[in-house]
Structure 1
Amino acid sequence: MEYFPVLVLLISFIGLLAIGVPVAWSISISALLTMLVSIPFLPATTTLAQRMGVGLDSFALLAIPFFILAGNLMNKGGMAHRLIAFAKTLVGALPGGLALINITAAMLMGAIAGSAMASASAMGSILGPEMEKEGYSKEFGAAVNITSATTGLIIPPSNILIVYSLASGGVSIAALFLAGYIPGILAGVFLMIVAMIWAKKKGYTGHAKKGDSGILAIVKTFVDAFPSLLLLVIVIGGIVAGIFTATEASAIAVLYSLILGFVYKEISFKTLPNILLDSSVTTAMVLLLIAASIGMSWAISYENIPQATSDVLLGISDNVIVVLLIINAILLFVGIFMDITPAVLIFTPIFLPVVTKLGIDPIHFGIIMIFNLCIGLCTPPVGSVLFVGVGVAKTSIQKVIKPLLPLFLAMIAALLLITYVSQLTLWLPSLFDV
C-alpha cells in the first residue's frame, strides 16, 4: 500500500500522455487521481486548485513572462544577425566553420535571450540556408542547431533556472545564474569538438572569406554586437551586485531590448503587437505547465513519495557516484517524455532531499538536472527544440537522428563531467560569494 500512490501517479500520467491528452492536463488529472488515494473528491479538487493558484502567486515567477518577452524582442530586433557576424570572425576559419559559427552564436544568443526555441528558430533560419549553399547536409545543420540551442537554458539568464529556484524552496537565483556559465560553455566546446570531427570526415571546410577573420574583423563585429552583449553585463552584473532582483532585471531586459530594437530599426510600432501576442501565448503555455506541475508536486509531497523514493535509492546504494548515476539515468528517460519545466517542478522535490542527504550542493544539483533535461529537448517524441529545429530546416526527424547521435554523446560526456566535478558549477558562485 505504501507504493500504491506512486503506481497511480505513474500509470495515470503515462496512460494519459499515451492517448494524446495535453501535458498540462495529464499532469493535473494524474495529480488529482493520486490525491484521491487518501483524500475525498471535493477536498482533493479544491486543494489542487488552491495549490495551483497559490503556486503562481510568486514575485520570482514574474521574471518568466518578462524574459520571454525580452527573448522575442531580441529575436526580432536584429541581435541574432550581429551575434552571428561576430561568431564568424571568431571561429569561421576552422574546419566546419559554419557549424562552429552556429554553436558559438547560439551560446551568445542564449547568454542574452535565455530561450532555446528562440535560438533554434533564429540560428536555423539565418544559418540553415547558408550551410546548404556551402555543401553542408541539411540534416547535419539541423542537428548542430538543435543541440547548440539548449546551451541557452544553462547559460544565464535562464527561465528554467528561476523555475528550479522556486521548486527547490529558494536556492539563490544569482548563484544558479553564475553556476550555469562554465557548464554551458563546456557543453558548447564539446559540441564544437564533435562538429569539427564530423566536418573533417565529411570534407566541410572553414567559412572564412577575405576580410572575415583577423583582429580588425573581430574588433569591427564586436563593436557592432557590443550593445547586444552589454545586456548580459547589465542583467547578470546587476543581479550579482545586488542592485536589483532577477525579476527587476527581467523588466530592465525588456526595456533595453525594446529600445535596441528601435535603434536597429528592426522593430516598429507595426510589428510590436505581434511580438507581444507571441510572448503572451508562450507565457500562458509555460505558466499553465508550471501551475499544473506545482499541483502535482504538492500531491507527491502529501503522499510521501519523495521519502519513499529516497528510501529506495539509498537502499540501493549510499555511494554518491552510484546515486547520481541512477538519478541521471532516470532524468534522461524522463526528458524523453516530458518537457523541461514540469520535469524540474515535479522531480526537484523528489530527488533534492536524496542528494542533500549525501552532501551534494543544491546549486550543483540544479545545474545537473537542467543540463540533463536539456538533452530531452532534442529527443522525440516531445522534444520541443527538436521540432523547431527540424521545422526550420524543412527536414524530418528520421533524417536528423543519425547526425544527432554523436552530438548527444558529446552532451552526455559533458553531463558526466559536470556531475562528478562539482567545482565546474560551484567555483563562480563561491568566487562572488553568492
Structure 2
Amino acid sequence: MTPDIWMLLAFAGFLIAGVPVAFSLALAGSVGIVAGLSPDMLATLGTNTYNSVAKYPLIAIPLFILTGLIFERSGVALRLVRFAQALIGPRHGGLALVAVLVCMIMGGMSGSGPADAAAVAMVMLPSMTKAGYPKPFSATLIAASASTAILIPPSVALILYSIVVPGVDLRALFAAGLFPGILAGLALLVPAMIVAKRYGWEGAPVEGAETLTVRTTFRQALPALFAPVLILGGLRSGLFTPTEAAVVAVAYGTIVGLFLTKELSLRDLWELLGEAAIISGVVMLIIALAGIFAWAGTMLGTFRHLAEWIIGLTDNGILLLVLVMLAVLVAGMLLDAISIYLIMMPVLIPVMQHFEWNPVWFGILLAMNIAIGQFTPPVAVNLMVTTEIAKIRLEETLGWALLFVLAMACALALVAIFPSIALWLPSVLGYNV
C-alpha cells in the first residue's frame, strides 16, 4: 500500500479505537511521515503545530467563546425570552416561535451552537413543558434552532473556514451567512408551528405571560438586542476588524453583565475566563495537531489524489455537489465543525476550484450541512446539551430530529439552487465574493 493509504487507514483506525480526533490526526500524520517520507522528518512536528495556530484571525475564536459565556451568565437569554413572549403573546406554537427567535439572536452573540443551546434550554424548557410541549420535542427544537449560530455572524466555524480557504474575506462570509441563517430558522419554525397547532399545545396563556408588557421587556432586552448591531455595525463601518470585533464583544458583554443586568460578578468573570480557556484550549489543540496531518497529506500528495478521484467520479458539477453535501452531512453527524473543516477542506478546495464554485457560497453550504449535523444523532453536540438539561434520553428525540433535518435540508436546497440568497448581501455591501 502507498504511504497516503497507510495514513488514511491509520486515521480511520484511531477514530474507531476511540482516540480523540486531535490525537488521531497527529498520530495518522506521523504514520504518513514515517511511511512516506523519513523518520527524520518527525523533527518538523513542533514547527507544524506552531504554524497551525500562529495566525492572527484565530484570536477571535476564544474571544467569541468568552462572549457567549458572558452573555449566558448575564441573564441575557431570560430577558430575550420575556421580550419575545410579550411580543408574540399567547397562541398555539407561541413558545416554539420564541425558542427559535431567541436562539437566532443568541447565535448573533456567541457564534457557538452548544453554548446557544445551553443558554436557551435552561430558560425555555421549563416554560415549554408547563405549556404542554413534550420534552423530546422542545429539546430537539432548541438544539436545531441553536445550530443556526454557526451561520448567523459572528460564527466560529466561518472564522475557521476563512483561515483554511485562502483569499476568502471573513466579512463577506459573515454577511453571506445572515440570510441563510434566518432562512434556516424559518424552515424550522414552519413544522414546529404546524405540529403545535395539530396537537393543541399551548392552547392557554403561559403562566406569568400576562404580566409581561412589550415596553418593559424591550427595555430589559435592549442591551442584548444591541450586541449584534454593535458587532455587525462595527464590521460594516470598518471601525474594527473581525478579530477586534471579538474584543469589543467581550468588553460590551462584561459591561452589560456587571453594570446593566448586574447578574455578573467579578468572581463569575474569573470563572468564565477559566471556562473559556478550557474550551478554547480544546479547539486550539485540534487545530494545532491537525497541522501535522495537513502537512503530511500535502507532502505525500494525499489530498491531491483524493481530489482527483472525486473529480473523476463525474463531470456533472451539480451531481458532485450533492455527493459532497451528503458526505459533509454524514461527517457532521460524527464530528464537530472544526474537525470537519480541517479534515475535509484540503480535499474539497481543489474540487471547488475545478468546478469554479464560489468559495463564499460553498462555505455557507458547508456550514448549513454541519449545522444539520449538530442536532442529528448519533453524535449531535447540540442535542446532547439539551437532552441533558431536559433529563431525557437522546433516542427519544430521533423522530423530531428527522423532522427538523428535513426542514433545514429544504433551506439548504434553496441556498444551493439560488446562490444569491447568500451572495446578495455581501455584494451589496461591497465585499469581495
TM (norm. structure 2) is 0.94
Match of 2:218 in 1: 222
Q: 1:114 aligns with which of 111, 115, 119?
A: 111
Flag the 1:359–1:38 CA change in 2: closer, same or farther, 3 A.
same
Distance 1:410 1:213 in 2: 32
> Residue 430 of structure 1 is aligned with which of 386, 409, 427?
427
**Corresponding position of 1:99:** 96
Residue 370, structure 1, aligned to residue 370, structure 2: no
Contact kept? 1:107, 1:152, Cα under 8 Å: yes
Distance 2:384 2:132 in 1: 23
Larger mean CA deviation between 246-255 and 353-362 belongs to: 353-362
Deviation track 1:187-240 (CA, whole Å, cap 9, x = no partner) reads: 1000000111221232213575699599x9444433322211212122111112
Q: Which moved more, 1:285-294 or 1:151-160?
A: 285-294
Q: Distance in 2 between matches of 1:378 and 1:330?
A: 16
What is the match of residue 304 of structure 2?
307
In the alignment, what sits opposite 1:77? Answer: 74
**Aligned position for 1:250:** 246
How many residues matched? 430
Preserved contact between residue 307 and residue 348 of structure 2 (Cα < 8 Å)? yes
In structure 2, the CA distance between the partners of 1:85 and 1:32, relative to structure 1 (3 Å rule), is: same
Select which of 152, 161, 164 maps to 1:164: 161
Distance (whole Å) between structure 1 residues aligned to residue 240 and residue 387 of structure 2: 38
| Structure 2 residue identity aligned to 1:267 | L
Amino acid at match of 2:290: S
Cα deviation code 1:155-179 (max 9, x no counterpart):
0011111100010024111101000
* Match of residue 294, structure 1, among 286, 291, 294: 291
Tell me, yes or no, if the aligned pair for 2:164 and 2:341 is still in contact at 8 Å. yes
- Unaligned regions of 5+ residues in structure 1, if any? none
- In the other structure, the counterpart of 2:357 is 360
CA contact (8 A) 2:4 2:301 kept: no
How many angstroms apart in 2 are the aligned matches of 1:206 and 1:42? Answer: 71
What RMSD over aligned residues (CA atoms) do the two structures have, in Å? 2.0
Q: 1:245 Cα shift?
A: 0.9
Distance 1:5 1:421 in 2: 41
**Does the 8 A contact of 2:131 with 2:206 survive in 1?**
no
Tell me, in whole angstroms, the C-alpha distance in 1 between the residues paired with 2:382 and 2:240: 31
> In structure 2, what is the Cα distance between the partners aligned to 1:339 and 1:42?
33
On the 8 A contact 1:294/1:346 being kept in 2, the answer is no
- Equivalent residue, structure 1, for 2:9: 11
Contact preservation (8 Å) 1:97, 1:206:
no
Question: Would you say 1:65 and 2:72 are equivalent positions?
Answer: no
**TM-score, length-normalised on structure 1?**
0.94
Task: Please state if 1:189 is matched with 2:200.
Answer: no
Alpha-carbon distance in structure 2 between the residues aligned to 1:92 and 1:358: 49
Code of the residue aligned with 2:17 in structure 1: it is: I
Instruction: Report the equivalent of 2:343.
Output: 346
Structure 2 unaligned residues grouped into runs of 5+: none
For the 8 Å contact 1:116–1:152, the answer to whether it is kept is: yes
Match for 2:414: what amino acid? L
Instruction: Give secondary structure in 2 for the equivalent of 1:135.
Output: coil
Contact 1:92 1:206 in 2 (8 A): no
The worse-fitting range, judged by mean Cα deviation, of 387-396 and 308-317 is: 308-317
Contact 1:352 1:365 in 2 (8 A): no
